[in-house]
Amino acid sequence: MGKRLFWFAVGVGLTALVVVKGREYYQRYTPKGVADQIEKSRTGLVDWVGEFLSTMGEAMDAREGELREALGLDE
């Protein structure tokens, strides 16, 4: 009796897992799900590029200040 109950519980657990994961995959690969993934990627890319350009601009300004000071161009 104990083995049957154990295997029944294992079967119920696996079935629940398959159903939940199946829904996730189904929603992920529908046209709306694919569009959502593309939007997330685009938003992440735009944020990354904006941060990169901001950091690069700050570094360029700092280096220009150092070079002007070293060459005496601010006088």
Which pLDDT tens digit goes with each residue over 42-51? 999 999 999 9
pLDDT above 90: residue 8: yes
pLDDT above 70: residue 75: no
Q: Is 29 helix (H, G, I), strand (E, B) or coil?
A: coil
Q: How many helices (H) and strands (E) does the chain have?
A: 2, 0
Lookup result for tokens 């690969």: 29
CA distance 6 to 8: 5
* Contact of 63 with 70, CB cutoff 8 Å: no
CA distance 62 to 40: 33
What global pTM score does this model have?
Answer: 0.55
